[in-house]
Structure 1
Amino acid sequence: MSTPLIFDHRAVRLHRDRAARRQAEVLPILQAATDHLIDRLDDMARPFATALDIGGRGLVCRALAQRGISTVALDISAPQAALSDAPALCSDLETLPFAAHSFDLVTACLSLHWVNDLPGLFAQIRHILRPDGLFLASLPILPTLGPLRKALETAELAVSDGVSPRVSPLPTQQSCAHLMQRAGFALPVVDSDVLDLRYRTLGALMADLRAAGETNALALRPRGMTPRMLFPAATAMLEDTDEGSFAMPLHMAVLSGWAPAPTQPKPLAPGQFQHNLGEYLADGA
């Protein structure tokens, strides 16, 4: 069965090419997301010698280098890959050009949500990890950009005859957990984090999305002229607040999972437990 074509990879690449020149405009947001991810790495007792960073915009590579981890950077955009102070490759993210058991660690900070075949990519990541290697990633999840999606849909219904796909679909935290389990990672953990962001105008939000390379790259995105009143109508909906700004929080799922290894702890099978939970609950009553 072929993978559905949800995203236009040429558009994704062009958007990230442009973002490489404008990264300074959104650097505080990108750095905060990087810090949130790398903080999880500092909780790991296991050392890592070699890493692959996917789409880290140079920020993740520098953080790993500070921890003495030799890193290779991978990005769909050559200008983005060049931002890393490390050996870098430009490649389609649907097919990873690495042999099995190549890395101790694979990281991805807000860079996998434009991939058409996420289950296949997760399986490839597990394949290139050495036994007991770690996959550590963050993905934007719903309800990120929910207010923008609602405003654009409502405005487009008001000014035209239908609704066009203008905001990328995002996974949920639960679907991220299913992806980790399906790919066969051991001891998978998926939790959530939020960056609280506010904007005074829709124009400022759109400028940040362009500077981050996060504008519409859907394969079915509208290609014709945008209705003249669409953005003014959406602007009126978003900016009609007493505070003079509107919230647009970035919700992230933070994923960690290990390539299976014989040395890892294994959950007990049913019937192997030595103590009855009911006894402890009764004692505490």
Structure 2
Amino acid sequence: MERIFDQDLVTANRLRARRRLETGTDFLLEIAARELSERLSLVERRFEQAIELHGGTGATGRLALQTGKIDRLDRVETHRDFSVDGEPLTEAPFEAVPLEPQSVNLVLSPLALHLTNDTPGVLVQIRRALKPDGLFLAAIPGAGTLGELRDVLLTTEVDLYGGASPRVIPFPDIRDVGGLMQRAGFTLPVIDEESFTVRYDNLFSLMRDLKAMGMANPLLGRSRKPVGRAFFLKAAERYAERYADPDGRIRATFSIIFVSGWAPHESQQKPLKPGSAKMRLADALDPTRGPRPTTKGDT
């Protein structure tokens, strides 16, 4: 298994962000929490035992409980400081799922799986922890996330130093996530993606927000060589040239992949055998349906 992320640094970044939580910087977790709870509210069943897995602020668990679909919810985190108002937590490493096989009915994972080195292994752990016909819901930052920042940092470093090191982490493609779900043994997977555009005064306010969210660079291959002020000034200038609106504020894209999948159970609908379909695929598709809208907001 190739290790991409420094897990000690991932944990330290997330914990630092939690301890210094600043107003408004948890907006991505709030978006994920609302979307996951809305999806949960549409499921026609109750869940006796649910787990929020590395949810940071606990927002996803709180909103999920408000749906009335859950009898009991526990949280798993890397440190007791993620507790809200002294609630009990199960402490576990970031890539561990400390649950007995077939012990829970629902697992919620908001904005954490993109930072795991062994994502297939973590998904297998989650699927094994679910009882038959248990549900997994996740929100995962996708490939479009921070594309503008990646572009300006890369081109600026090449221009100034003749080479570049990774400064923005890789995010998974929606097709890759679908493949990982099937590989882990989930059934009836449903996967969709939404993009959110957030506007900032400048590059420096964006980077401050990312640090406050715990999204500082945790890549093992990151450069340890410090860059001068000239680098960031040039990058900020290039960002404004390429990705600013008429009012001068810059745009930052956050794409979130929403995932649901079930632990196998004999009662679930089985896929049709090849060649047994009763209608053509073209007839099943709605040609009038356009792409999902982009939600814009200011921060």
Common topology (TM > 0.5): yes
- Residue 84 of structure 1, CA deviation: 7.2
Which whole-Å deviations, capped at 9, do the CAs of 1:2-42 have from their partners, x for residues lacking one?
A: x2111001111111111112334313342122101211111
The separation in 2 between residues aligned to 1:248 and 1:77, in whole angstroms, is 30
Alignment of structure 1 residues 21-100 onto 2, 5 Å: 21-25=19-23, 26-56=25-55, 57-66=57-66, 67=68, 68-80=70-82, 82-83=83-84, 86-100=87-101
Q: More deviation in 147-156 or 30-39?
A: 30-39
Aligned AA for 1:43?
L
Q: Could you tell me whether the CA contact under 8 Å between 1:73 and 1:84 is conserved in 2?
A: no
Closer/same/farther in 2, CA of residues 77 and 214 from structure 1, 3 Å limit: farther
Which whole-Å deviations, capped at 9, do the CAs of 1:122-159 have from their partners, x for residues lacking one?
A: 11110000000000001001111010001001111111
RMSD: 1.9
TM-score (norm 2): 0.87
Give aligned pairs, total.
276
Match of residue 18 from structure 1? 16
1:44 alignment partner, SS class: coil
Q: Could you tell me whether the CA contact under 8 Å between 2:7 and 2:94 is conserved in 1?
A: no
- Residue 74 of structure 1, CA deviation: 1.3
1:231 alignment partner, SS class: helix
Q: Could you tell me whether the CA contact under 8 Å between 2:20 and 2:212 is conserved in 1?
A: yes
Closer/same/farther in 2, CA of residues 150 and 167 from structure 1, 3 Å limit: same
Alignment of structure 1 residues 41-190 onto 2, 5 Å: 41-56=40-55, 57-66=57-66, 67=68, 68-80=70-82, 82-83=83-84, 86-190=87-191
2:229 alignment partner, SS class: coil
**Runs of 5+ unmatched residues, structure 2:** 285-299
Aligned AA for 1:100?
P
Which whole-Å deviations, capped at 9, do the CAs of 1:218-253 have from their partners, x for residues lacking one?
A: 011112222332111110011233331121121011
Q: More deviation in 229-238 or 58-67?
A: 58-67
Q: More deviation in 23-32 or 250-259?
A: 23-32
- Residue 276 of structure 1, CA deviation: 5.4
- Residue 94 of structure 1, CA deviation: 2.2
Match of residue 268 from structure 1? 272
Which whole-Å deviations, capped at 9, do the CAs of 1:86-117 have from their partners, x for residues lacking one?
A: 43122113232211011100011111111000
1:257 aligns with 2:256: no
The separation in 1 between residues aligned to 2:113 and 2:84, in whole angstroms, is 18
Match of residue 231 from structure 1? 232
The separation in 2 between residues aligned to 1:84 and 1:206, in whole angstroms, is 29
TM-score (norm 1): 0.91
The separation in 2 between residues aligned to 1:107 and 1:176, in whole angstroms, is 16
The separation in 1 between residues aligned to 2:47 and 2:7, in whole angstroms, is 32
Match of residue 214 from structure 2? 213
Closer/same/farther in 2, CA of residues 9 and 276 from structure 1, 3 Å limit: closer
% identity of equivalent residues: 36
Q: Could you tell me whether the CA contact under 8 Å between 1:17 and 1:78 is conserved in 2?
A: no
2:175 alignment partner, SS class: helix
**Runs of 5+ unmatched residues, structure 1:** none
Q: Could you tell me whether the CA contact under 8 Å between 1:22 and 1:212 is conserved in 2?
A: no
The separation in 1 between residues aligned to 2:166 and 2:29, in whole angstroms, is 25
Match of residue 204 from structure 2? 203
The separation in 2 between residues aligned to 1:198 and 1:220, in whole angstroms, is 29
The separation in 1 between residues aligned to 2:176 and 2:112, in whole angstroms, is 17
